[in-house]
């Protein structure tokens, strides 16, 4: 990788990211970082006081040559995304706590809202840590085969109250003979994330169907709904970390659920795909290889 790649990467960042070499010279900077610094031309040396002008500025250092490996590029982008996602609940939490000090404020209600923000941040951190465990091999995804129907019924039942609150009906169509190449815990992780996604975005009055079948080309787990669907421009990016379409940007999700689903399914040798016609619902299907 050369400097050009670092510049291209930074140019595509929406976060204020600046990349420095070991002598604190600018290698690359995103447009928002350049604005915050009053200019960030390549080779400019930045002191600590200069990078401290904006508390949201994300600074990364290259140990030697001003080049980004594929791993470094992924790490920088992921760190920037996590930092951005954590800022939102923390900023709202700070605003709520400040409001609680004002005369006449409803402290009880504000504390309830603050608690939700803490739970949102904790959920994000848990998802980030879990995804990290998957990627470093600390979680064994596939270990034998699991008869899936009992776990599917258990997980769907656990989402009953949440679905009722969202005014969404849950249906199960499960072939009791189907076995999936996943540990029980990993199967729960996949299904919980798929159901949470459907309940969060399908919309009131819709039906979410969980299907477990065994076609000739291998077993399949599918979660579909007849709700709002997903715009064609958003569909190819649904499994990207932190990606949210316009409809999802106001949600309380972490933006990692479908990325975790894809990682678990592919680690077990399967494939996952999403299909949708906007206004006609979304279907996510996880297909696994047939047993040997």
Torsion of CA 228, 232, 212, 141, to 10 degrees: -120
Same domain, 171 and 282: yes
Q: Give the model's pLDDT for residue 82.
A: 58
Q: Give the model's pLDDT for residue 184.
A: 85
Same domain, 129 and 190: no
- The rounded Cα 127 to chain-centroid distance in angstroms is 8
Q: Give the model's pLDDT for residue 46.
A: 78
Same domain, 249 and 163: yes
Q: What are the structure tokens assigned to 170, written together?
A: 């849950």
Residue pointed to by tokens 């949102």: 120
DSSP state of 203: -
pLDDT tens readout for residues 259-275: 888 888 888 889 999 99
- With a cut of 50, say whether residue 65 has pLDDT above it: no
- With a cut of 70, say whether residue 290 has pLDDT above it: yes
pLDDT tens readout for residues 145-160: 889 999 999 999 999 9
pLDDT tens readout for residues 98-130: 888 888 888 888 888 888 777 767 766 766 666
Nearest to 61 by CA among 31, 30, 17: 17
Same domain, 12 and 127: no
Same domain, 283 and 153: yes
- With a cut of 80, say whether residue 255 has pLDDT above it: no
- With a cut of 50, say whether residue 292 has pLDDT above it: yes
The whole-angstrom separation of Cα 272 and Cα 186 is 15
- Higher local confidence (pLDDT), 58 or 224: 224
Please give, one letter per residue, the 3-state secondary structure of 128-170. Answer: HHHHHHHHCCCCCCCCCCEECHHHHHHHHHHCHHHHHHCCCEE
Task: Name the strand (E) or helix (H) holding 194.
Answer: helix 184-201
- What is the percentage of the chain residues whose pLDDT exceeds 70? 72
User: How many CB atoms within 10 Å of residue 149?
Assistant: 16
Q: For the chain, what is the mean pLDDT? A: 78
Q: Give the model's pLDDT for residue 174.
A: 93
**Domain range for 90:** 78-135
Same domain, 152 and 117: no
User: What are residue 126's DSSP bridge partners?
Assistant: none
Nearest to 18 by CA among 47, 64, 125, 255: 47
Same domain, 281 and 171: yes
Q: Give the model's pLDDT for residue 271.
A: 94
User: How many CB atoms within 10 Å of residue 145?
Assistant: 15
pLDDT tens readout for residues 226-249: 998 888 888 888 888 666 554 444
Same domain, 123 and 152: no
Kindly list the strands in the beta sheet with 207-213, ordered across the sheet, starting from the edge strand earlier in the chain: 169-174, 207-213, 220-225, 282-287, 271-276
């Amino acid at each position: 990788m050369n400097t050009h790649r670092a510049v291209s990467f930074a140019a595509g960042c929406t976060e204020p990211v600046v990349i420095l070499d070991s002598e604190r010279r600018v290698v690359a900077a995103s447009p928002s970082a350049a604005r915050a610094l009053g200019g960030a031309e390549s080779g400019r040396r930045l002191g600590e006081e200069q990078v401290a002008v904006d508390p949201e500025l994300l600074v990364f250092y290259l140990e030697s040559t001003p080049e980004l490996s594929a791993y470094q590029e992924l790490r920088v982008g992921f760190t920037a995304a996590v930092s951005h996602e954590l800022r939102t609940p923390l900023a709202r939490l700070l605003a709520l706590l400040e409001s609680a000090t004002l005369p006449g404020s409803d402290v009880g209600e504000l504390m309830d809202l603050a608690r939700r923000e803490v739970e949102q941040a904790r959920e994000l951190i848990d998802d980030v840590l879990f995804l990290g465990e998957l990627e470093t091999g600390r979680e064994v995804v596939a270990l034998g085969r699991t008869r899936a129907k009992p776990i599917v019924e258990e997980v769907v039942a656990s989402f009953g109250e949440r679905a009722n609150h969202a005014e969404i009906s849950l249906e199960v169509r499960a072939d009791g003979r189907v076995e999936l190449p996943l540990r029980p815990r990993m199967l729960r992780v996949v299904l919980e994330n798929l159901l949470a996604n459907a309940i969060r975005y399908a919309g009131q009055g819709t039906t979410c169907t969980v299907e477990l079948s065994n076609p000739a080309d291998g077993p399949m787990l599918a979660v579909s709904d007849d709700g709002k669907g997903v715009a064609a421009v958003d569909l190819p990016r649904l499994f990207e970390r932190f990606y949210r379409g316009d409809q999802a940007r106001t949600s309380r999700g972490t933006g990692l659920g479908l990325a975790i689903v894809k990682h678990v399914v592919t680690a077990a040798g399967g494939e996952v795909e999403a299909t949708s016609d906007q206004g006609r619902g979304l279907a996510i299907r996880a297909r696994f290889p047939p047993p040997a």
